[in-house]
Chain A
Amino acid sequence: GENVEQHPSTLSVQEGDSAVIKCTYSDSASNYFPWYKQELGKGPQLIIDIRSNVGEKKDQRIAVTLNKTAKHFSLHITETQPEDSAVYFCAAIATGGFKTIFGAGTRLFVKA
């Protein structure tokens, strides 16, 4: 079935450094790729997304890149801050699909 692999499972960076999280998906019909951030004790919340007709999208310190040929997409966080510490989930969904396929999550620690 469809699946999304996410790496690394844990990532620790120094404040101010960059963080990169990578995902690979299996369903070639996937065309929407959201990223969710989950803070402690809360539900996941969308932080950025990208559609298959776009290669890169930026929003302030976060950016997402997509390589449809390789079925890879990545989240880049620059100038990390302690409040970026959270669990991040990548996901993939196909047009008309009702199920979002989530990666297993990456726990990001930003050390002050």
Chain B
Amino acid sequence: NAGVTQTPKFQVLKTGQSMTLQCAQDMNHNSMYWYRQDPGMGLRLIYYSASEGTTDKGEVPNGYNVSRLNKREFSLRLESAAPSQTSVYFCASTGAYEQYFGPGTRLTVT
């Protein structure tokens, strides 16, 4: 039981490049989330998926897209990366109320 896994762990992009962050959970959870964490800013919700087949915007969705590929997988895409998207990205899933977080992806956009 691996919990929530994320790939890659680290990534450096140039401005304008695109990439997809991958997330998978093996706990049969319905809900999945993407957060970004910036120094001193806590966790900000980018997008979430309450159940397979649905996605909704969170607090800071601009510049991102998501896909709930199936119940296990929820990906985050940056179509045209900007320096303001330099951050640590966490994926999480929820069964009842508790959120289980992945180890994070540290993204730098130069």
Contacts and interface: CB of A to CB of B under 8 A. Distances in A.
A46 B42 contact: no
B58 interface: yes
Interface in A17-50: 32, 34, 36, 41-46, 49
B101 A45 contact: yes
Contacts of A104: 40-42
Name B's interface SS: strand
B25 interface: no
A89 interface: yes
Contact of B102 (A32, A43, A103): A43
A43 B91 CA distance: 9
A18 B75 CA distance: 41
A46 B101 CA distance: 9
Contact of B42 (A34, A45, A89, A98): A89
Name A's interface SS: loop
Contacts of A45: 101
Given A42-B104, A43-B103, A99-B45, A34 B97 contact: yes
28 contacts: A9-B40, A32-B97, A34-B97, A34-B98, A34-B99, A41-B104, A42-B103, A42-B104, A43-B90, A43-B104, A44-B43, A44-B90, A44-B99, A45-B101, A46-B98, A46-B99, A93-B97, A98-B48, A98-B50, A98-B94, A99-B45, A99-B48, A100-B99, A102-B42, A102-B43, A103-B42, A104-B40, A104-B42
Interface in A82-112: 89, 93, 98-100, 102-105
Nearest to A91: B99
Contacts of A36: 99
B99 to A, nearest CB: 6
